[in-house]
Amino acid sequence: MKKVFVTRKILSEGLDLLAQNGFEVEVTTKDEPLTPAELMEKSKSVDALICTMADSINKDFLEKNTHLKIITNYAVGVNNIDLEAAKKFGIAIGNTPDVLTEATAEIAFGLMICAARNFRSAIRNAEEGKWKHFEPQGHLGHALKGKILGIVGYGRIGKRLGEMAHGAFGMDVRGYKRGEDLIAFLKDVDVLSLHIPLTPESRHIIGKKEMAALKKTAIVINTARGDVIDQDALYEALKRNEIFAAGLDVTTPEPLVPTHPLYSLPNVMILPHIGSATYEARRAMSIMCAENIMKAFS
Ligand code: DGY
């Protein structure tokens, strides 16, 4: 009987499927990610892993676990996995594309509205008892209708966000094409949304120079990975009101400690990486991980 270890408690649909197909499934009993030593220990005696982006599947881990047939990430992004080393050691890698496209595009869309209309500072204001009157000039934000939405990473999720934004607000959607002049592209956009996978090439693709190219009224949305933005440059731009606002579902590091200076800014909305967190997406991700494993053994 082939054994599968699951590094976090996930929705059970895929695990049931594995059990029905003759796999022995063990799920961690912890409510937090395993330490590297725990992961190493647990992996020794199994044939496949379902892991999350919190698990560092690096060269050392892979070299010591060449008996694993497949490791499947409970995510579409695989930046936590050394793909080259996995290939070298003959370990198949799986992920969960497509099934979380809608959920992640919805979060980007939601963040875009929240950032454009100052949800964060307005909610704080109401909760802190500062809502005394209707404010004719308070909480002013920017309309989205007809504005330019620039998407860096025009793949599944980026395109779906583009459809939503065009359909709902008639936004002029522009996908950045590799090789194009990024600075020139950024100069025009009203909202910049990032959907690019994190690789050595895309790390800090939006840095100080790129931030400076954006309009003072620009909004930055990131639902990809924290490191595609130079977070210090983003912080400075937001603090000095060189851009209008940001909506982030991803940060560097994750979790972002509550004392982090970004939280002190009224014009940034931070979510704890919930892009794929719908019942529908997470169920489908569970099933896709199971299918990845079954395929690897068939
Ligand atoms: C992914 O799938 O890569 C997401 O970031 C996890 O929710």
Q: Token pair for residue 114?
A: 């929240």
What's the confidence (pLDDT) of residue 68?
A: 98
Number of helical H runs and strand E runs in the chain: 11, 11
**DSSP state letters, 83-133:** HHHHHHTT-EEE---STTHHHHHHHHHHHHHHHHTTHHHHHHHHHTT---S
Together in a domain, 262 and 287:
no
Average pLDDT over residues 198-215: 98
Together in a domain, 85 and 143:
no
ipTM of the assembly?
Answer: 0.94
Distance CA 188, CA 213 (A): 9
Together in a domain, 139 and 23:
no
Nearest to 285, CA basis, from 79, 68, 13: 13
The answer to whether 81 touches 93, Cβ cutoff 8 Å, is yes
**Residue 74 Cα to ligand 1 middle (Å):** 8
15 CB burial (10 A radius; 0-12, 13-18, 19+):
buried
Residue whose CA lies nearest to ligand 1 atom number 6: 75
pTM exceeding the 0.95 threshold for the entire prediction: yes
Together in a domain, 91 and 152:
no
What's the confidence (pLDDT) of residue 86?
A: 98
Query: Binning pLDDT at 50, 70 and 90, where does residue 247 land?
Result: very high
DSSP, collapsed to helix, strand or coil, labels residue 238 as helix
Full domain range(s) for residue 282: 3-97+278-297
Ligand 1 cavity residues, CB under 6 Å:
75-77, 100, 275-276
Together in a domain, 45 and 112:
no
User: Looking at the 3D structure of the chain, how many domains does it have?
Assistant: 2
Together in a domain, 154 and 40:
no
Task: Locate the DSSP E strands across 108-218.
Answer: 148-152, 172-175, 191-194
**Residue 18 Cα to ligand 1 middle (Å):** 22
Where residue 258 sits, what CATH number does that domain have? Answer: 3.40.50.720
Q: Token pair for residue 277?
A: 């967190």
Active-site positions?
A: 225, 254, 273
Together in a domain, 89 and 123:
no
Together in a domain, 134 and 247:
yes
Query: Binning pLDDT at 50, 70 and 90, where does residue 110 land?
Result: very high
**Residue 255 Cα to ligand 1 middle (Å):** 14
What's the confidence (pLDDT) of residue 269?
A: 97
In the 8-state DSSP scheme, what is residue 205? S
Together in a domain, 112 and 43:
no
Task: Write out pLDDT tens, residues 16-50.
Answer: 999 999 999 999 999 999 999 999 999 999 999 99
Together in a domain, 234 and 144:
yes
The answer to whether 73 touches 98, Cβ cutoff 8 Å, is no
* Amino acid residing at 249: D
Together in a domain, 152 and 60:
no
The answer to whether 145 touches 169, Cβ cutoff 8 Å, is yes
Together in a domain, 238 and 175:
yes
* Amino acid residing at 146: G
Task: Write out pLDDT tens, residues 53-75.
Answer: 999 999 999 999 999 999 999 99
The answer to whether 74 touches 32, Cβ cutoff 8 Å, is no
